[in-house]
Structure 1
Amino acid sequence: MIGSLTLDQLRVLVTIADAGSFSAAGRQLRRAQSAISQAIGTLEAIQGVELFDRGSHRPQLTGIGRVLVEQARLVLASAARFEAVAASNRAGLEPELAIAIDPLVPTAPLIESLRALGDTFPDLPVSFSTEGLGGSLRRLRSGSAALAMCLLLPAVPDDIVAYPLLRVGMRPVVAPGHALASLGHPATPSDLEPHVQLVLSDPVDPGSANYGLSSARLWRFVDLGRRLDFLLAGFGWCRMPEHLVTDPLRTGLLKALEIQDDPTPREGLTIYAAHKRDRALGPAGRWLLDELQRRLCS
């Protein structure tokens, strides 16, 4: 019951709308027509509105009746989800699964696994967020995420259990009109130092450790897409994930920048699936981890 409103009254209202009449709704709900009429009369009295126009042979929904039928459908669907989540939790499933993803992680390889998760656990509430650099690890440690797909630099922390999933290649790139694009030789530290480097930064702790910095002038970004916009506009140079710059390099919107003794691993940066060591994954989280490893590591 919601105040004086009951789910049963809403169920009767929706059934009448779908079945077409009070008598048909009574047959569908296995109740006498008088019980159906009483339920609707009580609902109208409680809400102070007329749901049906009874002036014709067959009662017709009024304007407010049509609106409230759709609201009733939403309430009933929400109640069904409420019961399904409770039932799943009684069966041992975690009450929800919160997933956090670093900005450098490509989403395309994750899509099918996330879709399969929804098919396998249709009643599991799942939250999904793309975090700024360092945000996924921070959410794991705060307990607001159970599973993260993230970079862990310079090494996997002691309080984190991590499983390598894939590598992301990083390409130094620059707009073709930028001064670095016409160097004619691999860029040295002295070549890079005076130019703006566009770097991803931790929005919560911008003073945290940074890797691969080569310039004295840093423009910091939280959002990878916005950094790409500034890169294409020629405001600076940076290392970008290969999957994001393949097309701009092919079409000439960007130019590859060769760096002398570039410290970035040629095989790319490792993307991990990770969780806190002292917080074991629930059944759905474990299922998703196994699915990601099967799909990406095989």
Structure 2
Amino acid sequence: MIDRLTLDQLRILIAIAETGSFSAAARRLGRVQSAISQSVQSLEATLGLELFDRSGKIPILSEAGRAILTDARGLVHGADLLRARAESIANDIEPELALAVDPVFPTHILMESLSALDRAFPQLPVLLFTDGLGGPEQRLRDGVARLAVYSLLVTGATDLQAEPLTDIPFVPVVATTHPLSKRPTPISRIELAEVTQLVLTDSTPLTQTLRGNLIGRRLWRFADLQTRLDYLLAGFGWCNMPLHLVEKHLDSGRLIRLRLIEDTSFLAPLYIVHDRTRPPGRAGKWLIDDLRSRLARS
């Protein structure tokens, strides 16, 4: 019997509850009142429950009716989401957009763009992963992410589709409380090698070690950028950091930019990357264009 349950019946039940009467529900739905009453009776027969107390002048929801109303709202909402999802897919919008982003990408730009994406595609589920080094590419290869933002210099991949997005400047910095900040400048590579270097490490097998940036004989390895920044600010060592992440600390005097004989600063090119067999749909292309636009204005 439950197979005879229809969404139309549930919508009518919700309309009655929200408008307060059968007649008001009929006006909202553009139906005659007799059709509303008949639908309710059919729903009650299907469920084997009396959903309304009819002892008074105006039928009111029974205790069973109030319980069923909660479930009815959930089912109707789910059906509406299903319809919207199907329409999106038919219009070449991804059923889901999973994005893996290296934390070196400017967070405020990503947040603004994701907020705009939600307004442009309100029915689109979005998954976000923030992974450093080879993490974004691993998400792509595992099929978890549809798009990734990271530097191909990290992995050297040549079998993926990649488009340049932006360049992130990295600069050598140290805390003003660290002895290195008091040394005469410019500092030699030999002097730098004697000091603890704070480096990022990778949990994936994809990273190609960039030996030119590993100078210190004592390396402290960190799994994430923020933890490394905390240790940097605490004066445990030096490292190359994305300029936009340390600018406020340079301005406040907590960090200083190192002047080196052999400068270790560099530009890290970030790319939008995807599997050649899984190009972005309308929402992914929209996000890429929006990111480019915001980067150009920043």
* TM category, shorter: 0.7 to 0.9
What is the CA–CA distance in structure 1 between the aligned matches of 2:61 and 2:106, rounded to whole Å?
Answer: 50
Structure 1 residue runs of 5 or longer lacking an equivalent are none
Partner residue, 2:272: 273
Check whether the contact 2:196–2:237 (CA below 8 A) recurs between aligned residues.
yes
- After TM superposition, the structure 1 = structure 2 runs for residues 3-18 of structure 1, keeping only pairs within 5 Å, are 6-18=6-18
Partner residue, 1:181: 181
If the length of structure 2 is used for normalisation, what is the TM-score?
Answer: 0.82
Partner residue, 1:296: 295
Partner residue, 2:264: 263
- After TM superposition, the structure 1 = structure 2 runs for residues 72-151 of structure 1, keeping only pairs within 5 Å, are 72-151=72-151
- Decide which moves more: 236-245 or 203-212: 203-212
What is the CA–CA distance in structure 2 between the aligned matches of 1:297 and 1:168, rounded to whole Å?
Answer: 13
Spell out, residue by residue over 1:189-221, the C-alpha distance to the aligned partner (whole angstroms, 9 max, x if none). 332323332222212339752451121222222
Identical pairs, percent: 45
What is the CA–CA distance in structure 1 between the aligned matches of 2:62 and 2:224, rounded to whole Å?
Answer: 50
Change beyond 3 A, Cα 1:206–1:293: closer
Which residue type is aligned with residue 38 of structure 2?
Answer: A
SS, match of residue 149 in structure 1: strand
If the length of structure 1 is used for normalisation, what is the TM-score?
Answer: 0.82
- Decide which moves more: 4-13 or 279-288: 4-13
Aligned: 1:215 with 2:208:
no
- Post-superposition shift, 1:261? 0.9
Check whether the contact 1:9–1:43 (CA below 8 A) recurs between aligned residues.
no
- Post-superposition shift, 1:283? 2.9
SS, match of residue 98 in structure 2: strand
Check whether the contact 1:156–1:162 (CA below 8 A) recurs between aligned residues.
no
Corresponding residue pairs, total: 293
Structure 2 residue runs of 5 or longer lacking an equivalent are none
- Post-superposition shift, 1:15? 1.3
Change beyond 3 A, Cα 1:196–1:5: farther
Check whether the contact 2:2–2:46 (CA below 8 A) recurs between aligned residues.
no
RMSD: 3.1
What is the CA–CA distance in structure 2 between the aligned matches of 1:230 and 1:84, rounded to whole Å?
Answer: 47
What is the CA–CA distance in structure 2 between the aligned matches of 1:91 and 1:256, rounded to whole Å?
Answer: 50
What is the CA–CA distance in structure 2 between the aligned matches of 1:229 and 1:12, rounded to whole Å?
Answer: 58
Change beyond 3 A, Cα 1:73–1:171: farther
Partner residue, 1:224: 225
